Amino acid sequence: MKNYSKIVSGTMTWGDWGKNLNVKEMTKLIENCFEIGINCFDHADIYGGYTTEFSFGKSFKESQISREKAKFITKCGIQYICEKSNYKVKHYEYSKKHIIDSTEKSLKNLKTDYIDLLLLHRPSPLLNPDDIAEVIEKFKKEGKVISFGVSNFNSNQVDLLSTKNLIEWNQIECSLTEPKYMFDGLLDYSIKNKIKIMAWSPLGSYFKLKNKANYRIKKTLQPLMEKYQASESQILLAWITKHPSKITPIVGSTSIERLKSSVNSFKIEMSTEDWFSLLEARNGFKIP
């Protein structure tokens, strides 16, 4: 995909699920993102209990930034229990009607004529590839969806959906503390089939949990920080972006300094030995 920034700004905590930014604050954050080279914003219909897309859309309009310069990602499928929904059970819905209704609502909330990338948020055992293909073909013909992909799908699930659909992106959880997709064949499959990868929670649990694995990682990171003249976060991002699948990290911070630091992590050229030293620290044993 052309013109996507190397870092994606995740909006999940911009609104009611986090910082509760007002329109002025959100507009400023959007403008600051563009100033440091981030032009891509990751959404989902459910963020903020179905409120964040609307707030972002209003704020983006206030920014006066040309829509053509930005990339909007959104996701649908999760039926979330909150004040704005009547659901009694959290579930996934991928009927043609729901995908159409959800996407049309996202277009309205984001105040845009098109979504750059529409993703199915979570895999469902009831998902019908024929229904998905029909809806995506409709949206693409209408110019309302430019590209299509999935989120949190494994290689078998992507393969099933690919029989009827062009899958261009898969958004997955991937980090040094959660590297399973590097070893279960998903990233190999993605390279083979030219499916691009975005990683949510790219710093993993490193700053969230105090455990033996994170202690080992911290100890290993110390000399690397000096070697690369970089922060812990930058080295953790450099670790996942070294993978040949060319992972695009989604950074959820609302701090422009942290976002700028994330952008600068791409300046790090991590050696293969350092990469494996961090993997060894995470695992607690040498590779076979």
Which are the catalytic amino acids?
47
Say how far apart CA 92 and CA 76 lie, in whole Å: 9
Say how far apart CA 88 and CA 154 lie, in whole Å: 28
Residue with tokens 């979504």: 115
Closest CA to 177 of 149, 213, 141: 213
Token pair in block for residue 115: 């979504």
Residue with tokens 């060319």: 246
CB 213 within 8 A of CB 177: yes
Token pair in block for residue 219: 């100890």
Q: What is the per-residue DSSP string for 97-159?
A: HHHHHHHHHHHHHTT-S-EEEEEE-S--TT--HHHHHHHHHHHHHHTSEEEEEEES--HHHHH
- The 3-state DSSP class for residue 91 equals strand
